[in-house]
Structure 1
Amino acid sequence: MSVFKNVIVFRIEPSWSQTLVQAEDALGAFRFAPCSPSQEKSVGWSEPRGEDNGPLVESVGGQWLLEFMIESKALPASVVRRKVEERCAQIEATTGRKPGKKEKRDLKEDITHELLPMAFTRHARIAVWIDPVERRLVVNASNAARADEIVTNLVSALEGFSVAMLQTQMEPAAAMSNWLATQEPPAGFTIDRECELRATDESKSVVRYAKHALDIEEVRQHIADGKRPTRLAMTWEDRVSFELTESMQIRKIVFIEGTDGAQDGKKEDNFDADAAIATGELGQLVPALLEALGGEAAFAAAPTERAPDGAATAAAPTDTEAEDAPF
């Protein structure tokens, strides 16, 4: 199995410098703890190998592997709404008046807290990789909101830590348009059989190809008409297949060679083998992809605020997809 499936890559600020021991100590203050009965959400760092009270930072071949845990409780909106309506009906029957908007809000909060201990619990385990030599942060997240939450927690935990998303000299959409129009992908890459093209005019029309040859006149005509690729499936050196998006996300990653070599070994052996394959292959793919996009633009870290108590201030993710870390 692959360690990383959908990743967002960041560049770590050049001056950041901490040892493995220092990072372990710093993250220890943010270790994950399960939700209390009345708590809606809990986040923190957990053991990548899944061993209780084990290290929070594992080093495999000099690459640091971490795991971010999110536990949240979900209450069906219909259940809460029905309980609120029942409570309002009781108040009206008892007092002869209908509760106002503020009272309904308060009732909703009270009912939510009452039901939380019985709520269904969701867990998301997100793999995180720090390359301290190449100064890259790779987050196994399929959306920017989830990645931002993890980055903000790292900034809160690690002194002097700052990152920016990888920026390239050529926009991915412009590069993908050129590759599709000319059918000349960059050296070492091949174009696969899946892409999405989106119009930039008011129509916002979308054309999707799945398991379909892309070296056809129809695709070239869509590009000539102004549609831009939002994602394109590719393979690098017959070793990694993936999907590049217009926002420089690398999705649907499959390691073609060597992914099954340790499946019959022990759990810890699988962890090391999976981590070595993922960091080794992606450690070569990312620079090749940057070169194909004209090289990397200058580092410019986005400001990240801290709350007064040092907690993360990034917006919570808007989706509920669990991104389990398969270390």
Structure 2
Amino acid sequence: MFKNLLIYRLAETWQPDLDALVEAADAATFIPCGATQPISAGWVAPRGRAHGSLVESIGGHWLLRLMVEQKVLPGSVVKRRIDEMAERIEADTGRKPGKKQRKDMKDQAQLELLPQAFTKQLGLPVWIAPQEGLLMIDAASTARADEVITLLTKGLAGFSIEPIHTALAPATAMAGWLLAGATRPGEGEMPEAAIEPPAVFTIDRDCELKAPDVSKSVVRYARHPLDTEEVRSHIEQGKRPTRLALTWNGRVSFVLTEQMVLKKIEFLDGVQENTPSAGRDGDDGFDADAAIATGELIRLIPDLLDALGGEQKPGLFEASATATPTTMPMTTPAAPAKTSVSADAPPWE
């Protein structure tokens, strides 16, 4: 159901209204790209059923799905077309096109080629927890999440989100947990920066450490013990954890990033045992999967915030080496970024 999770706090000034959400989604239904349209975004049925409901309410949680479609034009194809146009101009006028003229030729070439271009689609699951005041988006980047928030802002009067602040930055907390795990019995007191991880979280075997200096050196561990002197040495030399694999309550594994994004979410064995309809096809399967995902993650999120020192209102934290504000990605809705049509860098990669 969810592979990644970007978490946002709904502003207290906006009162969730299911009927208004349904109306807004119906007004922004997904329509595929037109012949010369480079990108299109809109809502589709979360169940994947044609003409199905665009908003599903399951156990008090609201589920949507944003579909983004983009035309893909390889850069080499566009360049070849520009070169053809430039050769024709040079043959007719006896001079090569200038920089500004080539820019205009690029726009013209893209417009000509768009009707023949292939398209790529990306579906983004969206989850609103009105009682908890949270918005979650299954996206690999904040750029994709921006499109969701922009569409919700356009369709819902007064809709806005606020950043989530925690007393500890994720990188600070992750470094502290790793230092505590690498401290051997009999070594005396743990390093000052060491932090015992909360009992509900266990550290797994994947980690990424980066140096903040100009070297930008990176060390990655995959399926490797992290309670080692080597890991501790990297941290003491100044490298900061940017990704760390964790397991919550033996039920959900994920990778926490320095931006407090949850990636590679996986529900472990035993989570579905008490849900008879789990794994079924059709509506029963969707309802069961949605109930499991939202039920588990809505309990994981507050535990994660507590592990990072607790959620705090802006201005209430003290800046220090061990207590720094963590601002969640995307604090205010932004207009969609200008999009270039290229196969080299699709928007979802």
TM-score of the superposition, structure 2-length normalised? 0.85
Alignment match of 1:304 (pick from 317, 321, 333): 333
**Aligned counterpart, 1:66:** 64
Whole-Å Cα distance in 1 between the matches of residues 338 and 262 of structure 2? 22
**Aligned counterpart, 1:320:** 346
Cα displacement (A) at 1:304: 3.3
Q: What count of residue pairs does the alignment treat as equivalent?
A: 314
**Aligned counterpart, 2:174:** 176
Alignment match of 2:306 (pick from 277, 281, 291): 291
Cα displacement (A) at 1:155: 1.3
Cα displacement (A) at 1:96: 2.1
**Aligned counterpart, 2:117:** 119
Contact 1:27 1:45 (C-alpha < 8 Å) held by counterparts? yes
1:247-286 to 2 correspondences below 5 Å = 247-256=259-268, 257-259=270-272, 262=277, 265-286=280-301
Contact 2:246 2:255 (C-alpha < 8 Å) held by counterparts? yes
Whole-Å Cα distance in 2 between the matches of residues 167 and 42 of structure 1? 33
Alignment partner of 1:159 is 2:154: no
Contact 1:170 1:294 (C-alpha < 8 Å) held by counterparts? yes
Pair 264,254 (structure 1): closer, same or farther in 2 beyond 3 Å: closer
Alignment match of 1:210 (pick from 196, 218, 222): 222
Pair 16,317 (structure 1): closer, same or farther in 2 beyond 3 Å: farther
**Aligned counterpart, 1:97:** 95
SS of 2:103's equivalent? helix
1:77-156 to 2 correspondences below 5 Å = 77-156=75-154
Contact 2:40 2:70 (C-alpha < 8 Å) held by counterparts? yes
Whole-Å Cα distance in 2 between the matches of residues 150 and 20 of structure 1? 17
**Which residue identity lines up with residue 92 of structure 2 in the other structure?**
T
Whole-Å Cα distance in 2 between the matches of residues 316 and 231 of structure 1? 30
**Aligned counterpart, 1:7:** 5
Whole-Å Cα distance in 1 between the matches of residues 338 and 58 of structure 2? 30
Whole-Å Cα distance in 1 between the matches of residues 338 and 103 of structure 2? 22
**Aligned counterpart, 1:26:** 24
**Which residue identity lines up with residue 164 of structure 2 in the other structure?**
L
Unaligned runs of 5+ residues in structure 2 are: 182-195, 315-326
**Aligned counterpart, 2:233:** 221
**Aligned counterpart, 2:246:** 234
Deviation per residue, 1:154-194 (Å, 9 max, x gap): 11111111112322111111111110001132121110001
Pair 322,169 (structure 1): closer, same or farther in 2 beyond 3 Å: same
Whole-Å Cα distance in 1 between the matches of residues 64 and 333 of structure 2? 21
Whole-Å Cα distance in 2 between the matches of residues 235 and 30 of structure 1? 38
Contact 1:46 1:68 (C-alpha < 8 Å) held by counterparts? yes
Contact 2:146 2:333 (C-alpha < 8 Å) held by counterparts? no
Whole-Å Cα distance in 1 between the matches of residues 10 and 117 of structure 2? 39
User: Percentage identity across aligned positions?
Assistant: 51
Pair 101,321 (structure 1): closer, same or farther in 2 beyond 3 Å: closer
Alignment match of 2:48 (pick from 47, 50, 74): 50
Contact 2:122 2:348 (C-alpha < 8 Å) held by counterparts? yes
Deviation per residue, 1:64-120 (Å, 9 max, x gap): 000011010011111111111112112222332322223222222222111111101
Whole-Å Cα distance in 1 between the matches of residues 36 and 135 of structure 2? 34
SS of 1:252's equivalent? strand
The root-mean-square deviation of aligned C-alpha atoms, in Å, is: 2.0
Whole-Å Cα distance in 1 between the matches of residues 64 and 10 of structure 2? 16
**Which residue identity lines up with residue 314 of structure 1 in the other structure?**
P
Whole-Å Cα distance in 2 between the matches of residues 103 and 95 of structure 1? 13
Cα displacement (A) at 1:262: 4.4
**Which residue identity lines up with residue 3 of structure 2 in the other structure?**
K
**Aligned counterpart, 2:320:** none
SS of 1:92's equivalent? helix
Cα displacement (A) at 1:202: 2.7
Contact 2:251 2:271 (C-alpha < 8 Å) held by counterparts? no
Unaligned runs of 5+ residues in structure 1 are: 306-312
